[in-house]
């Protein structure tokens, strides 16, 4: 049985879509259940200014994707990296044990997007030093 919050985020997901020309992209999947999550972020002044998701999966996967985007928006990158799988599940008032892996995917996708952002900014910074 899903909580009211899970059902709300499943039936009315927040931040659905994809950011055009994102600063960071994270995509993770679970071959066991078939869920795939893609999170894109826009970063301004070290904060997540916008975050969007596209998820192929069950209701819990969609709900956790929606919740992680709500939790991450406005946070610094360091704060967003501290968001855990269990924090996502708690924010949704819990998930059935068989669906806890979905919360793992949501946090992992966000962390991947942040890692991608850091990799891109390091590469740009190095290119500027070499060229400048």
Q: Which residues are catalytic?
A: 33, 102
Residues 4 and 17: their CA atoms lie apart, in Å, by 23
Q: CA 46 from chain center: how many Å?
A: 16
> Token pair of 114, please?
């942040």
Q: Please state, as a whole number, how many other Cβ atoms lie within 10 Å of the Cβ of residue 49.
A: 13
> Token pair of 62, please?
């969609």
Name the E strands within the chain. 24-30, 35-44, 47-56
């Amino acid at each position: 049985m899903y909580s009211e919050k899970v059902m709300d985020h499943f039936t009315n997901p927040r931040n659905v879509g994809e950011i055009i020309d994102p600063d960071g992209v994270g995509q993770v999947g679970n071959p066991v259940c078939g869920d795939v999550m893609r999170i894109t972020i826009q970063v301004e002044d070290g904060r997540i200014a916008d975050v969007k998701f596209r998820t192929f999966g069950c209701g819990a996967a969609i709900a956790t994707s929606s919740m992680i985007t709500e939790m991450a928006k406005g946070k610094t990158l360091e704060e967003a990296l501290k968001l855990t799988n269990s924090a996502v599940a708690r924010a949704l008032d819990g998930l059935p044990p068989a669906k806890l892996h979905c919360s793992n995917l949501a946090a992992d996708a966000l962390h991947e997007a942040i890692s991608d952002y850091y990799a891109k900014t390091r590469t740009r910074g190095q290119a500027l030093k070499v060229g400048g």
